[in-house]
Amino acid sequence: MTPTHTHDCGECRYHGTIAGKEGDPIDLYSCHGSVIARDGSDGPDYRSLNVEMAITLDASDPLRIAAQLAG
């Protein structure tokens, strides 16, 4: 698997790409206790949250999915 969007942190672990609500690709990462959902290649095109908070989100939220994949 290869990320769809450019991501500039070499320490992040890529977990795959899912389809967002509009069908657009969202790349999922984890890094140092946080999860990242990147929906574009520009710097601010992402959301992030610590894993403990992400697992409390709705099951369809990309950040929760990233937290589950991060294990």
* Span 13-55, pLDDT tens digits: 999 999 998 999 999 999 999 999 999 999 999 999 999 999 9
Q: How confident is the model at residue 1 (pLDDT cuts 50, 70, 90)?
A: confident
CA distances 21 to 4, 9, 34, 39, 61, Å, are: 16, 25, 22, 11, 10
Parse the chain into domains and list their residue ranges. 13-70
- pLDDT at residue 15 in the model: 97
pLDDT band at 3 (very low <50, low <70, confident <90, very high): very high
Distance CA 14, CA 70 (A): 9
Task: Identify the CA nearest to 50 among candidates 35, 71, 68, 31.
Answer: 35
Residue 21 has a pLDDT of 87
Tokens found for residue 21 = 């609500």
